[in-house]
Amino acid sequence: MASEEKSLHFIEQIIEDSLTNGFPQDKLRFRFPPEPNGYLHIGHAKSICLNFGLGLKYNAPVNLRFDDTNPAKEEQEYVDSIKEDVKWLGFNWSEEVYSSDYFQQLYEWAVAMIKKGKAYVDSQSSEDMAIQKGTPTQPGVDGPYRNRSVEENLALFEGMKNGDFPEGSHVLRAKIDMASTNMLMRDPLMYRILHRHHHRTGNDWNIYPMYDYAHGESDYVEQISHSICTLEFVMHRELYDWFLDQIYDENRVRPHQYEFARLNLNYTVMSKRKLLQLVQENIVSGWDDPRMPTISGLRRRGYTASAIRKFCDVIGVAKRENIIDVSLLDFCLREDLNKTAPRVMAVLDPVKVVITNYPEGKEELLDAENNQEDESAGYRKVPFSRELYIEREDFLEVAPAKFFRLSIGNEVRLKNGYIIKGESVTKDVNGVITEIQVTYDTDSLSGSGSEASKRKVAGTLHWVSISHAVEAEVRLYDRLFIDEAPDSHKEKSFLDFMNTSSLEIVKGYVEPSLASAKIGDHFQFQRLGYFVVDKDATDSKLVFNKTVGLKDAWEEKGKKDENSINNSLKEINKYFKVATREERIAIRKAIGETLSGISNYSLLQNSFRKNINNNKSSLLFANFILKYANLKPSDYDNEDLSKLYLMSLRSESTFVRSRAILNLSNLDYESDFVNSFKEEVLKLQSNPSKSTTDREIEFIEKFLLK
């Protein structure tokens, strides 16, 4: 029996219970069963780590089985990519098998079920079958072909197999219970006709088994002990067991299905269909585009297998669905790369620096530490000369008090080098700085031990020597979506939330030690982030992908946006207390600027809904969101809008009523939606309250005149 650990996840506990109850450990067998209809994504990585991790923990075989039962969507390319991904993640399978290996056996079992009266050929259209199947609250009814004779069913099924009938003309259904409360048990499909070429069996078959039939029976053929799948298959378990009941031999291992919560990441879509759409519409460059959540895309982006395995371990295995912050994946990656990635210097937005008191023609080789987290990484030599590149953002001609980089009259240290002081600049006809002149302290070389070298200065800059720099194409990747839940909004396409800044390509300059970098090599560009050599790199052209920044800019922006929302709500309270209209206008403009600068659709929507309540400050804030946020009227739910307008028009506050009327005035006056509030506005006109102001009456009259 496997040794007990302090903390077991629930799948491990199930296995431990099986062993405790007498199940032989040498009969444990698991499988990872992808359908080869697309590339694997980060969600599949969780399943891979779970299944293969169980194999390692219990010293049990794990099959890689391709559930290839739909030739209309499956390709050998996908098979090859899946195998590469599993190997890259660090796992080896016991057997490589395919559901198509069992097509003959599955067919024979289906024939046996027909003979036992457990299956029949249905010749209805798919539309008629859907009607006949009923609804979750209404039982289904027997179809007109449910009681065909065994002989007729066998003949039709044989004809289906032989290709005698067109697609859609017949299906084979299991005969179970049309009144079952589980709609999946209402005579589910077992086979359909597909005259398609299969990537392994060619044109041998004209009928293909449905997933629900093939999956459990394939588990049985392989003698899988614990069939682990995601929560959406909970309702399928009853059908899984029913199909096994038809073939089970008590002398063999009977598989059992167990479900766990799949991985849901924010700022990501995980649907293969949607990922395929991104590829087919050329929104991304392919399945391995570094912005894609596919394992091949993450690998090309520079994510490491160990970081992904660590991430899967940290999030754990649960029974309940939840959403994981993608920042956790990036944290695991930074933690891994911080230990292993060499530190190098690169400049991505260069401006020229000339050290005027450094001798012309002189060059030095400076010692640079490869990785301060790894003592064994050692040092390398970095060339230094009179003319350098630094980042343009690292210089301001006139700097504010807390600018800890280079400026006129101020000193900074060059990484591994000298202290320099800004003296003057040269500009082009447009006023853009083209060159910065500096002087250096000759005794301040880093690590020299001199008094000058120990002098503290405000900041340290990275740099590259111009005469030694190697030009490189650098692809600055960012998240593909700007919203935390891009595919969860009603009447909105996930494509509406594409991040137009998800890729920027720049010409950068890197230190000469990178000239020999190979595809897949990881580096930390100091002060910039982690980068990897892309597969497009050649001996004559370096190409780097940005993997991840040194800090989580999205998390910082998210917190900033949330804080901005909260602070704006506090300002709203002041709106009702200030004495003058000018003060209210200033508060309103400040809140408007804040709201217009927030692009997080979900944050705005949640804040909007949250503030539809009887509090006057909340109602005014919700109306300001309508006015200033970068959302269209169609982005809001009509029920939420109706509730807000009714509550606002009935509010005790003239400011709330006025803002609601102004917002309504900006909508289409001919619409039924706007007309539905005219009666409320008329009430305000005919029965003004004590708080009604002349401006509110003016707004009411203008609204009604339109």
pLDDT given for residue 5 in this prediction: 52
Average pLDDT, integer, range 281-287: 97
541 is catalytic: no
271 is in an annotated binding site: yes
Angle between helices 654-665 and 616-628 (to 10 degrees): 20
The one-letter code for the residue type at 39 is: Y
Query: Which residues of 189-243 form beta strands (DSSP E)?
Result: 189-193, 207-209, 226-230
628 is in an annotated binding site: no
**Annotated catalytic residue, options 57, 118, 200, 262:** 262
Helix H or strand E encompassing 383: strand 379-385
Q: What is the C-alpha separation between 681 and 84, in angstroms, rounded?
A: 66
Average pLDDT, integer, range 150-162: 98
pLDDT given for residue 476 in this prediction: 98
Residue for token pair 């004495």: 579
Query: Which of 426-440, 529-543, 615-629, 664-678 shows the lowest mean pLDDT across its residues?
Result: 664-678
**Annotated catalytic residue, options 272, 475, 616, 659:** 272
pLDDT given for residue 490 in this prediction: 80
pLDDT above 70: percentage of residues in the chain: 99
Query: Which of 27-31, 293-297, 459-463, 702-706 shows the lowest mean pLDDT across its residues?
Result: 702-706
87 is catalytic: no
pLDDT given for residue 670 in this prediction: 66
211 is in an annotated binding site: yes
Give me the sign of the Cα torsion angle 278, 280, 282, 286: positive
309 is in an annotated binding site: no
43 is in an annotated binding site: yes
**DSSP labels, 36-48:** SSS--BHHHHHHH
Q: Which of 645, 623, 647 is nearest to 568 (CA)?
A: 623
Measured from the Cβ of residue 121, the count of other Cβ atoms closer than 10 Å reads: 22
Contacts with 62 (C-beta within 8 Å, 6 or more apart), sequence order:
29, 30, 31, 32, 51, 52, 54, 55, 91, 93, 94
Q: Does the pLDDT of residue 3 top 70, yes or no?
A: no
C-alpha separations of 612 from 331, 427, 607 in Å = 36, 54, 9
| Residue 273 φ/ψ, nearest 5 degrees | -60, -45
**Contact assessment for residue 187 and residue 146, using Cβ atoms and an 8 Å cutoff:** yes
706 is in an annotated binding site: no
Tokens of 650: 């009935």
Over residues 174-207, the pLDDT tens digits come to: 999 999 999 999 999 999 999 999 999 999 999 9
Average pLDDT, integer, range 164-180: 98
Q: Grade residue 6 by pLDDT with cuts at 50, 70 and 90.
A: low
Query: Which DSSP letter does residue 4 get?
Result: P
42 is in an annotated binding site: yes
215 is in an annotated binding site: no
pLDDT above 90: percentage of residues in the chain: 84
- The more confidently predicted of residues 73 and 490 is 73
User: Which CB contacts under 8 angstroms, 24+ apart, belong to 12-18?
Assistant: 12/54, 12/57, 14/226, 14/258, 15/54, 15/58, 15/226, 18/225, 18/226
Over residues 538-578, the pLDDT tens digits come to: 999 999 999 999 998 888 888 888 898 988 988 888 999 99
Helix H or strand E encompassing 504: strand 503-510
**Annotated catalytic residue, options 12, 35, 411, 696:** 35
pLDDT given for residue 687 in this prediction: 86
- The more confidently predicted of residues 444 and 489 is 444
44 is in an annotated binding site: yes
Q: Does the pLDDT of residue 634 top 90, yes or no?
A: no
191 is in an annotated binding site: no
3-state class (DSSP) for residue 640: helix
272 is in an annotated binding site: yes
pLDDT given for residue 1 in this prediction: 45
- The more confidently predicted of residues 36 and 674 is 36
Q: What is the C-alpha separation between 324 and 291, in angstroms, rounded?
A: 18
Q: Grade residue 255 by pLDDT with cuts at 50, 70 and 90.
A: very high
Q: What is the C-alpha separation between 238 and 69, in angstroms, rounded?
A: 21
Q: Average pLDDT of the chain?
A: 94
pTM over cut 0.85:
yes
**Contact assessment for residue 243 and residue 212, using Cβ atoms and an 8 Å cutoff:** yes
570 is catalytic: no
Average pLDDT, integer, range 45-63: 98
Q: What is the C-alpha separation between 593 and 600, in angstroms, rounded?
A: 15
Q: Which of 218, 243, 204 is nearest to 97 (CA)?
A: 218
3-state class (DSSP) for residue 258: strand
Measured from the Cβ of residue 307, the count of other Cβ atoms closer than 10 Å reads: 22
Burial (0-12, 13-18, 19+ Cβ within 10 Å), 300: buried
Rg (CA), the chain: 33
615 is in an annotated binding site: no
Q: Grade residue 112 by pLDDT with cuts at 50, 70 and 90.
A: very high
139 is in an annotated binding site: no
Tokens of 149: 């004779």
Over residues 352-365, the pLDDT tens digits come to: 999 999 999 999 99
Over residues 612-622, the pLDDT tens digits come to: 998 999 999 99
Q: Does the pLDDT of residue 4 top 70, yes or no?
A: no
Over residues 650-695, the pLDDT tens digits come to: 999 999 999 999 998 888 756 888 888 988 889 898 888 888 888 8
pLDDT given for residue 77 in this prediction: 96
Tokens of 346: 């690169």
Average pLDDT, integer, range 9-31: 97
Largest Cα span, the chain: 101
Q: Which of 314, 76, 69, 93 is nearest to 208 (CA)?
A: 69
Contacts with 424 (C-beta within 8 Å, 6 or more apart), sequence order:
408, 436, 437
579 is in an annotated binding site: no
**DSSP labels, 537-593:** -BTTBEEEEEEE-SS-HHHHHHHHHHHHHHHHHHHHHHHTT-SSHHHHHHHHHHHHH
